[in-house]
Amino acid sequence: MVTSVQFERMLSAAGPFEGHIVRLSDHREAKRVAWIQCVGSRDSKCGNEYCSSICCMASTKQAMVAQDHTPGLEATIFYIDIRAHGKDFDQYYERAKNQNGVRYIKSIPSRIVQMPATMNPRVRFVDEAGKPREEEFDLIVLAVGLEPSGTAVELASRLGIELNEYGFCATQRSLPLSTSRPGVFVGGRSRSRRTSPRL
């Protein structure tokens, strides 16, 4: 398993794997890759009940780029619901599904076990018909959410910008880039959660 941040690094031609999609354990090429959405987000148990807004489209993009890097790669995305925030993002999602064959499964896996013989992760989940299923993949990508960084919170305090209950800049639904201070706008991102050992 790798995080979405690690997988992004793996996709980079200038990265340690020169854009090749491989498993960290044995460096075998991964032909069946699954993404699990909302890891560390939309979960009251870990204190992050919010949607990070970018994970669905980031995973969709990663799946399509991975298919470009590895012809024949099978991409599967496990999700709660698809949140395609942004102009033409729905069209991008439809393209991934209908033209690229990215498979979307509305389910959150309940268990992942590494199989001793193949070293493949086996995912246990309930399908949309309510039936328990298991599938093996070569690689699992955990789509980690975002949380506000300490420096962003400190900067907001110095600028006199209001924060929401989760520590992000408070904005209005109709003005998602405007902060509480006129002339100061939201841009960029906060840091990703739970980055595992560096690649």
pLDDT in tens, 180-197: 998 888 876 655 554 443
Residue range of the domain that includes 31: 2-147
Q: Is residue 196 part of a domain?
A: no
Please state which of the ranges 42-46, 80-84, 155-159, 183-187 shows the lowest mean pLDDT. 42-46
Would you say 50 and 166 are in contact if contact means Cβ atoms under 8 Å apart?
yes
User: 57 with 107, same domain?
Assistant: yes
Q: What is the mean pLDDT of residues 27-39?
A: 95
Q: What is the CATH number of the domain that holds 26?
A: 3.50.50.60
pLDDT the model gives residue 119: 92
Q: Is residue 184 part of a domain?
A: yes
Range of 24-28, 72-76, 89-93, 194-198 with top mean pLDDT: 72-76
Measured distance CA(188)–CA(14) in Å, rounded: 23
User: 137 with 158, same domain?
Assistant: no
For the chain, the average pLDDT equals 88
Q: What is the mean pLDDT of residues 130-148?
A: 93
Q: In terms of pLDDT, which residue wins out, 26 or 84?
A: 26
Q: In terms of pLDDT, which residue wins out, 15 or 138?
A: 138
**117-129 per-residue burial string, b: 16 or more CB within 10 A, e: under 16:** eeebbebebeeee
pLDDT the model gives residue 73: 96
Q: How many structural domains compose the chain?
A: 2
Residue 199 has pLDDT above 50, yes or no: no
User: 6 with 43, same domain?
Assistant: yes
Q: Could you report the per-residue pLDDT of 54-64, keeping only the tens digit for each?
A: 889 999 999 99
User: 47 with 124, same domain?
Assistant: yes
- Partners of 123 in the β-ladder: 112, 135
User: 60 with 113, same domain?
Assistant: yes
The reported pTM is 0.84
Task: Map residue 157 onto helix, strand or coil.
Answer: helix
Give me the half-sphere count of Cα atoms (radius 13 Å) on the Cβ side of residue 79: 18
| Cα angle, residue 4 at apex, residues 187 and 188 outer, rounded to 5° | 5
At position 79, the amino acid (one-letter code) is Y
pLDDT the model gives residue 194: 46
